[in-house]
Amino acid sequence: MTTPFHARRVAGVVFDIDGTLLDNMPFHIEAFEAFTAAHGLPPLTLEMRKWMDGRRNADIFPRLFERTLTEAEVAELSHEKESAYRRLSAGRLKPLAGLMRLVDGLDATHVPIALATSAPRENVEHTLRELELASRLTVIARSDEVAHGKPEPDVFLEAARKLGVDATDCVAFEDAPMGVIAAVRAGMTPWRSRRAIQPRPSPRPIRRRRSSSAISTSCSTDRATGCWPEWRAASCSGGNSTTGC
């Protein structure tokens, strides 16, 4: 008989980066707005921005330009847009409140951490350096290193493989719907940030689960606000293939 997740210890925690470790999406939006204007593309609609959220550039750019692109073209366009993001965000990135406490709690209870991201290598290095987490979060799976990006599960499965644990024993922190779906398809239990493309609502506390001793240990330091004040997070089940929640 399969053991319910809440009866098992968490073997690993997997974080997305953009929008999850930090709220850096305004810098990405500004970089994309400059990018589309420079290439004579229509301004990004809310619908398009929602579709893009959590996806990798190799999937985004062909849709923006409405044609098939070579790997060289994708690489050149990615460099243009992502270098703009790094320039705009330099010296301006900070972790979401509560992140360091959560990471400290996971370290203290010996729960390994990995990152599963659609960001390219240069962005990952830039962001972790800005957050002063480069030496602490070293297990990284990137979507450009696997066959399929989010919402397919490849990057989360790769993160679990790098941790040496079963994906079904992992909790995944994600903000984008495509990322939540990917985590669910990998068999992980997702906690979804309610950071959204539209303006965010007022902060609400996390609904903490009894299921994860490691997570509840780190969250118990702040019973009033939960361990992630910026998040309105909830435990999601894998029963809904559309949203993952």
53 tagged catalytic: no
pLDDT value for 239 = 36
- Domain range summary for the chain, segments of one domain joined by +: 5-23+93-235, 25-89
* CATH architecture of structural domain 25-89: Orthogonal Bundle (1.10)
Q: How many CB atoms lie within 10 A of CB 102?
A: 24
Question: Is the pLDDT score of 88 beyond 70?
Answer: yes
Measured distance between the N- and C-terminal CA atoms of the chain, rounded to whole angstroms: 24
The answer to whether the beta carbons of residues 59 and 97 sit under 8 Å apart is no
Name the catalytic one among 16, 23, 169, 175.
Answer: 16
pLDDT value for 2 = 52
For 111-142, the pLDDT digits (tens) are 999 999 999 999 999 999 999 999 999 999 99
Interval 12-39 mean pLDDT:
96
Q: Would residue 104 be called left, alpha or beta, if left means φ above 0 and alpha means ψ between -120 and 50 degrees?
A: alpha
Interval 213-239 mean pLDDT:
32
| Length of the chain, in residues | 245
For 15-24, the pLDDT digits (tens) are 999 999 999 9
Confidence category of residue 9, pLDDT binned at 50, 70, 90: confident
For 91-105, the pLDDT digits (tens) are 999 999 899 999 999
Residue 187 corresponds to which tokens in the numbers above?
């068999």
Interval 65-86 mean pLDDT:
97
Distant-in-sequence, close-in-space partners of 86: CB < 8 Å, separation ≥ 6: 122, 123, 126
18 tagged catalytic: yes
For the domain 5-23+93-235, what is the CATH code? 3.40.50.1000
